[in-house]
Structure 1
Amino acid sequence: MKDMPQLGMGTFRLEGEVARESVSKALEVGFRHIDTAQIYGNEAQVGDAIKTSGLNRNELFVTTKVWHESLGEGHFIPSVHESLEKLKLEYVDLLLIHWPYPGSDVTLESYLGSLAKAKEQGLTRHIGVSNFTIDLLNHAEEMLGKGEVYTNQIEIHPFMQNKKVVEACKEKGVKATAYMPFAVGKVMKDETLLRIAQNHNATPAQVVLAWMEKRHIYAIPSSTSKEHLAENLAYGGVQLSEEELALVDGLDNGERIVNPDFAPSWD
């Protein structure tokens, strides 16, 4: 079973032809993890790009996420079948709960049970969560069993390092995956990151990805430019010193970008 690559391509906010082209470019330059979600409305385009790439299914790691409206018992599994149909795949490598359910009419137990069922039925290889707090993560581990939660996908970037949650993930053997790793472009303008990037003849984005790998954080940046996709993938050439890593650590100011009204009470 293929492990999740350190770097994946996120497809949030990519629609229609742009989504299809961007995923095609990502696969061409060497990305092997593509991350989508039911709510993104681009699973079909992601599926098209995968199909026309000519790559073997076992070379790829594909993630999708179940949206709120499908968390109820009667909707969950059918929604996953629908996702697979759009993606033109027999299974995904990773299926996530996109957000903890905000209401009280669907219990955590119920939808985590459905998530486990999706895995039992072979619809996904791994299961995990997204936007889960430490408390919710504890509950998920209790219900699903130790080692079953593959990842917790959360907002992480230099300005919002979510250290408590990342620490809790590490303790549980759950991979922490960063969405919005570039803080919607803010990292490109940060003086500290620009300075470190200059030292390495690299981009601030590459510096952030190199820092994340050192901190054992997986990342799924999004880009529509082939050049940027290739640059992101080449971040491995950037070897940061302990001093530089500490400088990036020091940028944390708790600046959260994603905070919808249905979000849980963050740690």
Structure 2
Amino acid sequence: MRILMIGDVVGSPGRETLSSYFPQLNNLFTPDVIVVNGENAAGNGRGIGRTIVRELFELGVHCITLGNHAWAQAEVFDFIDEEPGIIRPANFPMDTPGKGYTVIQSQAGKLTVINIMGRTFMATLDCPFRTMDEILDQIPPSSYILVDIHAETTSEKQAIAWYLDGRVSAVVGTHTHVQTADERILPKGTGYITDVGMVGPYDGIIGMERSTVIKRFLTQMPVRFAVAKGRCQLNAVLIDLDKQTKKTKQLKRIRIDVDTPLIG
């Protein structure tokens, strides 16, 4: 199985960039399943709406993962229970709308996609480690398993990956919007990267206008952030999984910077 996991899509510039490159990515890499983190896909860079969800699915995305901004757009409560391909962090409290994992059917087999959120410098949620244990007890061993760990610190992401090594196919980090160069296959076969990166403004600060972010640091006062404009980038990771073991054979970073041609 081949999975294309695309980093956090930021605002309308991110969606436009993804739409522009999507056909080339599909034709060049021919993935069986395409997963996108969409928790920043709304126009203001926070949350996601019904129209955007439909736009991503119509583009060819199979699964949308979320994160700490899952509830930033009020309309999400109207549709999250109806969309089998959209998942929020599984360690939100019981009775939270939506679900934490889903099963994607593909020609290469079944892929279970799990969304989990870290707790360090984030909201106080249920334990992501124990939540993963509970979910894995429900998943048949015949399924490929991809985990989106949406977390702030590298240490927590690495800890989750080592905890799950050999029990899932791959663990991919999201949230920080900066692609890391630490992709690897852990000893028991689980593929890992700390952060896949983002799709959005290249000259912003994690996708936001520089001036507002700098003002926040300078003044320590509340500042309303806005999605940056101008040149964009696309970050993703391509994961090849073994048919027999369900573990990672190869994990390759994809980074498309401004005006950079897509190279295989």
State the TM-score, normalized to the length of structure 2: 0.47
Structure with the largest fraction of helix: 1
Structure with the largest fraction of strand: 2
Larger Rg: 1
State the TM-score, normalized to the length of structure 1: 0.47
